[in-house]
Amino acid sequence: MLNTVIFDMDGLLIDSEPCWHEAGSETLSQYDICLTEEQHYATTGLRTPEWIEWWFRYFRVDSRFAPEAIRKVESTALEKISDKALPMPGVDYIFNFFKERHFKIGLASSSSVALIRIVAEKLGITDRLDAYASAQPLRYGKPHPEVFLNCASLLDASPLECLCFEDSFNGLIAAKASRMKCVVIPALSLNQDPKWVIADLQLAMLSDFKEEQLRLLS
């Protein structure tokens, strides 16, 4: 029976993807790289080191420049998110929904612990989180399931008791690989992509999740 919910963060709880997009584009432009929208979204959900490594290898940029590029992306994104990123629709609703049903609540993100704390405070959810986990220090990030499994462990929950909310395909794969149920809320421009069929449920926004959906998933 489901008794635990684990949320992704970027693009799901806070509209930070444009900030990451800007930070990444500004950094890659220094190496004469300009990504298409399709290329950008294909690597959404990866940690910054993996994101930089992917595009440096694709565009054949010398890897010795990677550490500085990673630092630039992360510091720029943190500043932009802190300054101007807004909550996604339904954040208060969905946290209240699960609190009222006495679910344990966690957050599992590819972002750093520092950014998780900034966003949690910005959204006013710090006191409502029972645990959070960052994939940044792990050997593998999403789509590897480790960050979700770590979060479940911190919540003293079996993966089979967990329901995940994700917005990226890499995150969806990670959640399913961890044997958790997963609700996906993709960006509007991507919601017709047939790949989302592997999710247990696809919604347009957080506030679309109701008692009926929880009952069906349980």
Q: Which of 8, 15, 130, 200 is catalytic?
A: 8
**Which residues share a beta bridge with 109?**
134
- Among 175, 168, 179, which Cα is nearest to 147's? 175
Which DSSP letter does residue 185 get? Answer: -
Distances (CA, A) of 131 to 24, 83, 169, 193: 28, 25, 23, 32
Please indicate whether residue 10 is annotated as part of the active site. yes
- 186 phi and psi angles, rounded to 5 deg: -75, 165
Q: Which of 10, 92, 167, 193 is catalytic?
A: 10
What burial class does residue 192 get, using C-beta atoms within 10 Å of its C-beta: 0-12 exposed, 13-18 middle, 19+ buried? exposed
Angle between helix 113-123 and helix 66-84 axes, rounded to 10 deg: 10
**Residues with active-site annotation:** 8, 10
